[in-house]
Amino acid sequence: MTALACLKIFVGEELRFTDPDSLAALVAKVAGAYLETTWLWPRRHGLVAPFSFVLTDPRAVKLDPRELQALARDLQHKLFGDKGVGEIALLTFEGDQSEVMRFAGIPPAQLKALLNGEDDGTFEGRICRITPTGITSVAPAGGPVVGEPPMEVLAATPSCPAPARVGYRGVFHTQRQIFLGNVAVWRAAELRRDYGLDEPALDVHEIDHDIPILEAARGEITRFGAGIMFLPINFSAAVKPGFRAELLPHLQALAGPLRGRLAAAVYDTPRAPSFSALSQLKSFLDPFFGRIDLRVADPAFQVDELPPNFASSVTLQLPAGSEAERLAAIARFMRDAAGYRRKRIWQGVTDVRTRRELNVGIEHAAPFLTGPAITELLEAPTDVVPCPVLHLPLHDWSARAEHIAASHVA
């Protein structure tokens, strides 16, 4: 299924003295330049009327209006400046093709009513109002905004962690183009990273996030008959006796036939961990996990110093800097691919956010990728299913294997 929408751009009355044709040309130029650089193939866009674009995305069933807020800000800056008093607003309408094209020719009075939140039910579809500072659902009135983080995440108090909210990211094998498992994550932290929000300063140890994730994921993995589940384990917690004692009963609850499908995603692994620390880590985790995945922040991680048969994979956590820095980190990490192959250790990259980062990971033959450019933050683990790269990221798993497999065959 392809997401299809009409984007209408409304310029406030502060520019009513401007020649309409000149204003329409300026808006088309700014909006077109933005879409050329962000709404990339296989997504398509086209100007169908003054102040009106049609947008399509064959990899999604719904569009995320948050992507278009940057367009509203760009138009605001170009037309009114940073301190101007003018108003820019966008309306997006999602529906079938005939309704989308009908919406493109909406009369001015009806357009203004929708901008004021007055929906008369003329159009069968979903309408959102987007400004540089916010997004609201016009139809259905007060409905959810796709991609908006739950309010309980944003309102989580800094004194303690939010109630256990666990999400999942699909783990994608780039060469086979298949999802082969999931990584369980602390949902509040992942959502904050997705939307560029600062992490709250929590007066707790990371183990207080790991334990509820272990408990929640235990139930999920028993409901799915295949695939690997990567579960977070803090490096420093796993090498300290006190923290190991806290983790032990939760790991014991996972023991048994599930071990072969469980991987310990050991995060905050230092660049050059000591042999003693690695020995303690291995002896503690081996009874419960069939694989160990070391999650590192340094793309120059010293893989040659790892003991033989210690880890099955090493995953690079991309830095929080600019896209150029993140792309450079991928290239530096994959420069050591020969050394990883000698050790028989797979390489992975996580927190892949953009299409460019995805493409660079594929170009450098990174075997495993995870992050918002691969799947949205999922409520339940993905199935083990093939998926063409062009269908990434996957936004809606309601159709699950049937839709994805059909797309793969096509």
Give the integer Cα–Cα distance in Å for 15 and 393: 39
Q: How confident is the model at residue 399 (pLDDT cuts 50, 70, 90)?
A: very low
Q: How confident is the model at residue 14 (pLDDT cuts 50, 70, 90)?
A: very low
Strands in 37-150 per DSSP E: 44-49, 52-57, 88-94, 126-131, 134-139
What pLDDT, in 10s, does the model give residues 138-176? 888 877 776 554 444 444 434 334 444 788 899 999 999
Give the integer Cα–Cα distance in Å for 67 and 40: 12
DSSP string computed for 118-148: ---S-S-SEEEEEETTEEEEEETTT-PPTTP
Residue 103 vs residue 204, higher pLDDT? 103
Which is nearest to 348 in space by CA: 305, 299, 286? 299
Cβ atoms 262, 182 nearer than 8 A:
no
Domains contained in the chain, CATH given: 3-139 (3.30.70), 151-409 (3.20.20.450)
Average of per-residue pLDDT values in the chain = 80
Query: What percentage of residues in the chain have a pLDDT greater than 70?
Result: 80
Can you tell me the mean pLDDT for 312-341?
94
Give the integer Cα–Cα distance in Å for 215 and 194: 24
Give the integer Cα–Cα distance in Å for 8 and 72: 11
Rg over CA atoms, the chain: 24
Q: Which two tokens stand for residue 77?
A: 């800056």
Which is nearest to 128 in space by CA: 138, 117, 140, 114? 138
Burial class (CB in 10 A: 0-12, 13-18, 19+), 65: buried
Can you tell me the mean pLDDT for 370-386?
87
Residue 361 vs residue 38, higher pLDDT? 361
Give the integer Cα–Cα distance in Å for 189 and 202: 11
Give the integer Cα–Cα distance in Å for 348 and 316: 6
Which is nearest to 251 in space by CA: 242, 240, 260, 264? 264
Plot region of 190 (φ>0 → left; ψ -120 to 50 → alpha; else → beta): alpha
Residue 241 vs residue 402, higher pLDDT? 241
Residue 20 vs residue 55, higher pLDDT? 55
Give the integer Cα–Cα distance in Å for 293 and 297: 13
* CB atoms inside a 10 Å sphere around CB 21: 9
What are 263's strand-pairing partners? 230, 291
Q: Tell me, what's the pLDDT at 84?
A: 54
What are 139's strand-pairing partners? 127
Cβ atoms 120, 165 nearer than 8 A:
no
Residue 316 vs residue 257, higher pLDDT? 316
Helix, strand, or coil here: 61?
Answer: coil
Give the integer Cα–Cα distance in Å for 254 and 364: 35
CA atoms within 13 A on the CB side of 74: 18
Plot region of 289 (φ>0 → left; ψ -120 to 50 → alpha; else → beta): beta
Q: How confident is the model at residue 95 (pLDDT cuts 50, 70, 90)?
A: confident
Give the integer Cα–Cα distance in Å for 241 and 247: 10
Helix, strand, or coil here: 161?
Answer: coil
Query: Over 90: is that where the pLDDT of 284 sits?
Result: yes
Which is nearest to 182 in space by CA: 268, 263, 256? 263
What are 228's strand-pairing partners? 181
Residue 155 vs residue 23, higher pLDDT? 23
Helix, strand, or coil here: 51?
Answer: coil
Give the integer Cα–Cα distance in Å for 410 and 405: 9
Cβ atoms 392, 172 nearer than 8 A:
yes
CA atoms within 13 A on the CB side of 189: 18
